[in-house]
Structure 1
């Protein structure tokens, strides 16, 4: 086995291990919240977006099969955020052209009560999403404050000087050079997520031909999927930043000190090397688990997803056409001899 294959296997085995547990826990509650299921077109788009985002995350991971993985580049950190923004756009409801433009909406099926994002989400969904963005911003800013300019003037190195001896150690870090694009992409994703949630929540209930209950359930599912994709991309990016910080924290430089031999000095965050590395695996596993959840969504039953006004197929026993059965208040009809 070559070194590349070993690194690739190690990366994916660790990723799969950290995904299994959070996926199982989250899937239990995800399936329980979809007792009525999701309509076919919405479910198909959610699954397509889930596969697209998960593939982008795995292919762009450090040590992945694509070339130059592991080298610090902007797309290493921006892929998940950009693709998640695209997937959220895929999930937005399409404008449905009415077959008869002059036909009025069934007023009995419209819900004119005011609606907001909180009408179709739970508070802890939004809190978890906001916490993921806040943690990513905190990690990026912390890495930027620790960074120093390299030979090209880019803030991509952590430099550890040793007083006036002239010795110093340096290691690559996610500094301001990479941190500023990450923050910009994070802001863009958060704005797109909020606009998408508002676009799903604000239209009147029941105006797409569904019953009020079916429309509300479809909106809850779509908003939950949007938040899952956005939070998953934020957590995966956070994992990459934490992994970079964990690797940088392990820097150890030795220099001669005369008769004392060699003196070894570590970074100011050396004690955080192991916690940061472990946290990166946990964040990546939870992020990928959130992205995979829509693949396991329930499909709505035909009765639940039937638009308002769609006739059901009736049998003789249902419409009272059987001999001796008639509608209440009407005279029975005599059967011909």
Structure 2
């Protein structure tokens, strides 16, 4: 019969769960707190590293999985953003991005291997979908970046590979572990989605204090379907109604992500349409100038068009900001993630 350690990696488990586990191994309960500290604060990659454990016991646990990945490749952009290709236990590769500033270290995590949404402007969806990530595989991404930068991670955004709401159970479990075990405040965690029917309300029922971001990218249903094929099954009006219900249930505003594509969705009429949709909405709009990929012919708008779009929204009293992505040169910016290597590598 397989043991618990063979079926469930230790990473992602709470201090009480780890305490239960050490007791099943015939160890005193205080070893649970020691194990928790070494997993989440000291970043242990194997039980053999935990020197406070008896040597004989460590030797018997040599095959026990903690649940850590290996860095397959790391690319560093001129702005010091780092894109990691991480090799999982089954050999699959995912991407994670570490984004440093003087005051913050943000990690952009993946929630799936690949992505099934197939957004027309995004590199990740071009490679298809393989599987959902487990909670420990998400938490591991944050610990890996923290270890490599030798800095505490302050913020985590679920904006990497995959659609988080298609893996809601494991994403919520990862959020709770990042909050309770790693020590990152929920309000410093962001879950981003293109919108999945019924799943927004499911997320709301967890009453998390996270930032909830919806990738809108269009001001009308025709345009949204063109850019996001799945939108055919989730009309823009229904999506916005669910977002209003999310605000009602949680008391938290919704952030709308809007990638600006030159001549496609950046026209003044698009801004006017978007303003009408969001009138009276407890929301914030993040305008993101398009980041180019080889698989699509879209172009980034001019600064003049970006400014004009922003001003129209602001004139309608809609909170708006422009977010220029980091890591562009390392293909680590928004919409560029794919399991490929880049130059300026660190291994």
TM-score normalized by the length of structure 2? 0.24
Q: Whose RCO is larger (CA < 8 A, sep 6+)?
A: 1
Q: Which of the pair is proportionally richer in strand? A: 2
Structure of larger gyration radius: 1
Instruction: From the two aligned structures, give the one with the greater helix fraction.
Output: 1
Using the size of structure 1 for normalisation, the TM-score is: 0.25
